[in-house]
């Protein structure tokens, strides 16, 4: 039954796309590990790290699209779920440093020694275990999404008001995480990671594994999202997006639909954050900044909201642009981002994926007209 559930939502294009994601996630690490550095086919470690980072962003974009594109909930706070997942991974990585920190304390991370902590705060217990930390990386964002969604959806907060609440949530969390007495590293956050599961985070082989893990989780996210969207639940979900009150008068309890997809999406964003942190080597409160969440929404808009492939493509396009422009012309990036937003809103309401569909429809229309 589960296989049928997972299979039902995938059309041919999506199957090919999932295979492509997996192929990238397998080929790049192999080209780094097996091909010698001198060869033109060798993939350098920095590229692996970059692609791995983009893959985790793509998973975040998919999470945003699931609530925005398919349920009409414009979340401007998904960066918070991403960052919470990242912090859970960060806490695990901090505990793995052990006595190799600057202060050499076997239990307390450096920043706690620096801040005169005498013992480990209670909420740090268990984070030395990888399984527990990953469980929390899913559970903590999910619980936050559940609490927020429970009240907001029951009170029928929708549209721009909901967007503002999610934005306020991530801003409040940013301010909280900036405080040193939160016990989570304050404004410096967490960094200087040494090992993940006993492997050095700096090693090429670890980077290769993390890149593969990111691709794998993105592929899994695509498959499960497709199953949800393709089920009868998915039909009801898009109907809620298009005509919420009509669904209520048909007898659907709309809150349940929204809450499920919001919580699932937050969990997905949490996983993305947990994959992101070991690849960039740092997590700090700026990840909660509202601009990050808005940027994630932009990836979805560029790629094509309401499609599953779109957000992945959008995340790659915008982030390649960002990496390139912030290197070449750093002062131009924000203007480019603004211009991109305007262009997409005016000319590409369905994003890059939608453009592809438009061009195809036009060529078909031309073909249909030709014989007459």
With CB under 8 A as the contact rule, the residue among 242, 324, 332, 360 that binds another protein is 242
For residue 311, what are its two tokens?
């957000």
74 to 15, 158, 234: CA distances (angstroms): 27, 9, 17
Residue 5 near another protein by CB under 8 A? yes
Residue 224 near another protein by CB under 8 A? no
Residue 368 near another protein by CB under 8 A? no
Residue 251 or 371 having the CB closest to another protein: 251
For residues 308 to 347, the per-residue mask of contacts with another protein, x marking binding by CB under 8 A and - elsewhere, is ----------------------------------------
With CB under 8 A as the contact rule, the residue among 250, 291, 339, 359 that binds another protein is 250
Residue 24 or 220 having the CB closest to another protein: 220
Residue 121 or 242 having the CB closest to another protein: 242
Q: Is 245 helix (H, G, I), strand (E, B) or coil?
A: helix
Choices 17-25, 74-82, 167-175, 251-259 (CB under 8 A): range interacting with another protein = 251-259
Q: Are 259 and 278 in contact (CB under 8 A)?
A: no
With CB under 8 A as the contact rule, the residue among 13, 16, 23, 246 that binds another protein is 246
Residue 118 or 232 having the CB closest to another protein: 232
Residue 362 near another protein by CB under 8 A? no
For residues 67 to 106, the per-residue mask of contacts with another protein, x marking binding by CB under 8 A and - elsewhere, is ----------------------------------------
Q: Which residues, including other chains, have CB under 8 Å from residue 102's CB and lie 6 or more apart? A: 110, 192
Shortest distance in whole angstroms from residue 70 CB to another protein: 11
211 to 10, 23, 154, 274, 276: CA distances (angstroms): 24, 12, 40, 13, 10
Residue 235 near another protein by CB under 8 A? yes
* Residue that the structure tokens 């493509």 belong to: 313
> What's the residue count for the chain?
372
Shortest distance in whole angstroms from residue 253 CB to another protein: 4
Shortest distance in whole angstroms from residue 33 CB to another protein: 40
With CB under 8 A as the contact rule, the residue among 249, 346, 347, 367 that binds another protein is 249
Q: How far is it, in rounded angstroms, from Cα 205 to Cα 89? A: 19
- 200: enclosing H helix or E strand: strand 199-200
Residue 122 near another protein by CB under 8 A? no
Residue 6 near another protein by CB under 8 A? no
The conformational region for residue 251 under phi > 0 = left, psi -120 to 50 = alpha, else beta, is left
Shortest distance in whole angstroms from residue 259 CB to another protein: 8
Count Cα neighbours of 139 within 13 Å in the Cβ-side half-sphere: 7
Helices (H), the chain: 2-8, 12-33, 45-71, 78-97, 110-114, 130-154, 159-178, 204-230, 232-242, 244-249, 254-280, 290-303, 309-328, 333-347, 351-369
**Mind giving me the DSSP string for 29-91?**
HHHHHTS-TTSTTPPPHHHHHHHHHHHHHHHHHHHHHHHHHHH----S-HHHHHHHHHHHHHH
With CB under 8 A as the contact rule, the residue among 172, 176, 243, 329 that binds another protein is 243
Q: Are 169 and 148 in contact (CB under 8 A)?
A: yes
Residue 37 near another protein by CB under 8 A? no
Which of 242, 240, 263 shows the shortest CA–CA distance to 252? 240
With CB under 8 A as the contact rule, the residue among 171, 199, 252, 341 that binds another protein is 252
With CB under 8 A as the contact rule, the residue among 124, 178, 257, 262 that binds another protein is 257
Choices 125-133, 198-206, 244-252, 265-273 (CB under 8 A): range interacting with another protein = 244-252
Q: How far is it, in rounded angstroms, from Cα 319 to Cα 26? A: 21
Please give the size of the binding site for another protein, defined by CB under 8 A: 26
Residue 247 near another protein by CB under 8 A? yes
Sites of contact with another protein (CB under 8 A): 1, 4-5, 228, 231-233, 235-236, 238-239, 242-243, 245-254, 256-257, 260
């Amino acid at each position: 039954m589960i296989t049928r559930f997972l299979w039902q939502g995938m059309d041919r294009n999506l199957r090919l796309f999932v295979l492509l994601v997996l192929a990238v996630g397998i080929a790049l690490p192999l080209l780094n590990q097996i091909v010698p550095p001198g060869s033109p086919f060798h993939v350098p470690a920095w590229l692996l790290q970059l692609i791995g980072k983009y893959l985790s962003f793509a998973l975040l974009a998919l999470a945003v699209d699931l609530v925005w594109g398919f349920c009409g909930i414009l979340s401007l706070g998904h960066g918070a779920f991403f960052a919470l997942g990242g912090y859970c991974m960060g806490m695990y990585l901090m505990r793995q440093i052990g006595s190799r920190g600057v202060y050499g304390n076997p239990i307390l991370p450096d920043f706690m020694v620096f801040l005169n902590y005498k013992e480990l705060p209670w909420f740090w217990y268990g984070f030395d275990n990888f399984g527990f930390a990953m469980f929390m990386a899913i559970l903590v964002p999910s619980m936050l999404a559940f609490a927020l969604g429970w009240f907001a959806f029951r009170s029928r907060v929708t549209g721009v008001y909901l967007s503002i609440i999610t934005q306020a949530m991530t801003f409040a969390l940013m301010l909280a995480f900036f405080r040193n007495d939160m016990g989570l590293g304050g404004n410096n956050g967490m960094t200087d990671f040494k090992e993940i599961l006993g492997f050095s985070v700096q090693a090429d082989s670890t980077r290769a594994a993390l890149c593969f893990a990111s691709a794998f989780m993105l592929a899994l996210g695509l498959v499960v999202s497709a199953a949800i969207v393709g089920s009868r639940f998915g039909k009801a979900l898009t109907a809620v997006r298009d005509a919420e009150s009509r669904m209520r008068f048909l007898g659907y309890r709309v809150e349940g639909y929204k809450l499920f997809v919001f919580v699932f999406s937050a969990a997905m964003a949490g996983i993305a954050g947990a994959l992101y942190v070991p690849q960039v080597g740092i997590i700090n409160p700026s990840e909660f900044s509202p601009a990050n969440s808005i940027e994630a929404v932009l990836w979805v808009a560029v790629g094509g909201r309401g499609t599953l492939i779109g957000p992945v493509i959008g995340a790659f396009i915008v982030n390649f642009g960002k990496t390139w422009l912030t290197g070449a012309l750093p002062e131009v990036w924000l203007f480019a981002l603004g211009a991109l937003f305007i262009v997409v809103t005016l000319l590409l309401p369905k994003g890059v994926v939608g453009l592809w569909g438009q061009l195809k429809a036009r060529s078909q229309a031309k073909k249909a007209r030709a014989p007459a």
